[in-house]
């Protein structure tokens, strides 16, 4: 049956691309994906597959119950976009100013919708139940996965699988890990309150820019000098806001950034060291500060059995010529909440587009659409393998 399913997926490739390109033209940012959620719900309505909307927010879950007994497995795709201006010169360029599918979630959605259409035709032969889990708000913490899990929507599920179309990996390559696969991702804001004044009289001020610069410099020492070199972490200051004139010394500076980690103990160590550094520098400069640290998505940890299952199942997909176990990447992903709750695994489906070397979250981002059916075939192969 799986060979026939693969053929059916291939036969719907043009429709899969059409769906992806439509969604690419009409993106919606996290927590505001109302039209996209309706598009997904309408698709299942047309197929005659029962579904629920507003799951944990804007989530949509469709349930296909097979004609044979078996396990219940959720297959997940996210569908939110990013606040980025699409700069590609393609017919399917975003028509929404300042919003773009710059991470492939349009492709994830097209993959899952097409797979649902195929599997509807095989419903009577299907063992178990497929939950087509369409998740909103992956891009912006607290995300959509956490409220979906908290809603009880996957309490009855035996396992969860998901994939990310990975634009920096060649088509035909599948990557995953049997343990930690993606990093925990946090956010911080530091506000330094100094004392402003005339640029000609620095001795009468407490220069927030100088103090902020010192903080940034010392934060880099956390990873290089305060952590075990065998551990992994990232401390990045992505925004430094201060001052409004060339001849005025700024009284306030705001630093905003992210921390990435694989080990929760390291997360706590980084927080402690950040507080110590900020406090020490501000005291030495007679300045005050506020430090707000927001814990975001936890590390995504695959279950070993389910990750091995994905690797083995992917060998049945003829278009995949390389099956890799890889070291963790420092990007974050709220699929982590599903594998905290249920057995499961997440994997990358290579989608690098020739002549388009741009990474995820870039204004020129794009994917090779040949990866879409590969993702669909791997997901359904994993589903059937889990039934054994």
Quote the CA–CA distance of 67 and 144 in Å, as a whole number: 31
The closest alpha carbon to 110, from 351, 320, 322, 301, belongs to 351
Which segments are annotated as binding site? 103, 105, 139, 164, 361
CA dihedral defined by 221, 223, 229, 231, rounded to 10 degrees?
Answer: 160
Q: HSE on the CB side for 272, CA within 13 Å?
A: 8
Quote the CA–CA distance of 62 and 44 in Å, as a whole number: 7
Give the position of tokens 């492939």. Answer: 104
Catalytic position from the list 28, 138, 366, 381: 138
The closest alpha carbon to 328, from 266, 239, 370, belongs to 266
Q: In 10 A of CB 59, how many CB atoms?
A: 26
Determine whether 78 is an active site residue. no
Q: Would you say 79 and 57 are in contact if contact means Cβ atoms under 8 Å apart?
A: no
* Tokens coding 159: 């396992």
Which segments are annotated as binding site for Mn(2+)? 103, 105, 139, 164, 361
Sign of the Cα pseudo-torsion (152, 154, 155, 160, in order): negative
Q: Which distant-in-sequence residues (6+ apart) come within 8 Å of 114 by Cβ?
A: 9, 12, 15, 16, 19, 372, 373, 376
Q: Would you say 337 and 146 are in contact if contact means Cβ atoms under 8 Å apart?
A: yes
The closest alpha carbon to 253, from 234, 272, 281, belongs to 281
Give the position of tokens 């927010």. Answer: 57
In angstroms and rounded to an integer, the radius of gyration of the C-alpha atoms of the chain is: 23
Q: Would you say 153 and 56 are in contact if contact means Cβ atoms under 8 Å apart?
A: yes
Determine whether 138 is an active site residue. yes
Catalytic position from the list 80, 207, 273, 306: 80
Q: Cite the active site residues.
A: 80, 138
């Amino acid at each position: 049956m799986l060979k026939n399913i693969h053929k059916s997926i291939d036969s719907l490739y043009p429709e899969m691309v059409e769906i992806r390109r439509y969604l690419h033209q009409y993106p919606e940012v996290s927590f505001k994906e109302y039209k996209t959620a309706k598009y997904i719900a309408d698709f299942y309505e047309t197929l005659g597959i029962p579904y629920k909307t507003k799951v944990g927010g804007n989530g949509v879950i469709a349930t296909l119950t097979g004609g044979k007994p078996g396990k219940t497995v959720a297959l997940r795709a996210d569908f939110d976009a990013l606040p980025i201006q699409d700069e590609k010169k393609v017919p399917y360029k975003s028509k929404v100013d300042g919003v773009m599918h710059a991470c492939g979630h349009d492709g994830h959605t097209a993959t899952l919708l097409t797979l649902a259409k195929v599997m509807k035709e095989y419903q009577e032969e299907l063992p178990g139940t497929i939950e087509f889990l369409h998740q909103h708000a992956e891009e912006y913490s607290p995300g959509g996965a956490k409220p979906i899990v908290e809603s009880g929507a996957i309490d009855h599920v035996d396992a969860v699988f998901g994939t990310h179309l990975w634009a920096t990996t060649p088509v035909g390559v599948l990557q995953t890990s049997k343990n930690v696969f993606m990093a925990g991702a946090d956010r911080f804001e530091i506000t330094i309150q100094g004392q402003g004044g005339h640029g000609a009289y620095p001795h009468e001020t407490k220069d927030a820019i100088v103090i902020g610069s010192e903080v940034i410099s010392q934060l880099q020492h956390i990873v290089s000098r305060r952590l075990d070199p065998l551990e992994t972490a990232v401390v990045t200051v992505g925004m430094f806001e201060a001052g409004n004139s060339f001849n005025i010394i700024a009284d306030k500076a705001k630093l905003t950034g992210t921390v990435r980690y694989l080990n929760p103990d390291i997360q706590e160590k980084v927080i402690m060291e950040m507080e110590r550094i900020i406090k020490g520098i501000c005291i030495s400069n007679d300045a005050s500060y506020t430090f707000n640290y927001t814990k975001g998505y936890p590390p995504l940890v695959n279950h070993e059995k389910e990750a091995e299952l994905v690797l083995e199942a992917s060998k049945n997909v003829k278009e995949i010529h390389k099956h890799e176990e890889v070291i963790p990447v420092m990007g974050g992903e709220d699929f982590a909440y599903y594998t905290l709750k249920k057995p499961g695994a997440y994997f990358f489906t290579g989608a690098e587009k020739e002549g388009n070397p741009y990474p995820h979250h870039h204004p020129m981002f794009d994917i090779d659409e040949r990866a879409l059916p590969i993702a669909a075939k791997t997901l359904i192969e994993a589903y059937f393998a889990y039934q054994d």
